[in-house]
Amino acid sequence: MKIKIFTLALLVIALASDAASQPYTIGIPAPLAGANMAAGTELRRGFELGREFFQADDVKLIFEDDACDSAKSLTVNKKLIEIDHVSAISGIYCNTSLFSVTSLINRSGLTALTTGATTGDQLGVGKKIFRLWPADQLAIKPLFLEILKRGKRLCLMTESDVYSELIRRHVNKSWPEQCAECSVVEEAVNAREHEFRTPITRLSKRGCDSMFLNLAGDDGFISAFRQVKILAPNLPIFALYYPGSAGVQKALGDALKGVVYADLPSSDGAATPLGLKFIELYKKRHGEFLLSAPAALLAFEAFRLINEARKQGVPLDEFLRRGPITDGAIKEYSFDSDGAIEGLGFVVREIPRD
Among candidates 26, 40, 50, which has minimal Cα distance to 110? Answer: 26
pLDDT on residue 15: 37
pLDDT on residue 65: 97
pLDDT on residue 21: 52
Among candidates 346, 340, 328, which has minimal Cα distance to 292? Answer: 346
List beta partners, residue 55.
none
CA dihedral of residues 47, 265, 325, 66 (deg, nearest 10):
-40
pLDDT on residue 2: 43
pLDDT on residue 126: 95
d(CA 227, CA 267): 31
d(CA 39, CA 191): 18
The DSSP string of 31-83 is: --SSTTHHHHHHHHHHHHHHHHHTT-TTEEEEEEE-TT-HHHHHHHHHIIIII
d(CA 266, CA 279): 11
**Number of residues written out for the chain:** 354
Q: Is the Cβ–Cβ distance between 266 and 283 less than 8 Å?
A: no
Domains for the chain: give ranges and CATH numbers: 7-134+268-345 (3.40.50.2300), 138-263 (3.40.50.2300)
Amino acid at 301: E
* Burial of 272: CB neighbours in 10 Å, binned 0-12, 13-18, 19+: middle
CA dihedral of residues 343, 348, 352, 353 (deg, nearest 10):
-170
pLDDT on residue 353: 86
pLDDT on residue 193: 76
pLDDT on residue 122: 92
Q: What is the DSSP letter of 116?
A: S
pLDDT tens digit at each of 354 positions of the chain:
444 444 444 444 433 344 445 789 999 999 999 888 999 999 999 999 999 999 999 999 999 999 999 999 999 999 999 999 999 999 999 999 999 999 999 999 999 999 999 999 999 999 999 999 999 999 999 999 999 999 999 999 999 888 999 999 999 999 999 988 999 999 999 877 778 999 999 998 999 999 999 998 889 999 999 999 999 999 999 999 999 999 999 999 999 999 999 999 999 999 999 999 999 999 999 999 999 999 999 999 999 999 999 999 999 999 999 989 999 999 999 999 999 999 999 999 999 987
Q: Is the Cβ–Cβ distance between 208 and 150 less than 8 Å?
A: no
What percent of the residues of the chain are helix, what percent strand, and what percent coil, each to the nearest 5? 50, 20, 35
pLDDT on residue 351: 94
Segments in 175-315 forming alpha helices (H): 197-204, 218-231, 246-252, 267-270, 273-286, 295-312
Q: Is the entire prediction scored with pTM above 0.85?
A: yes
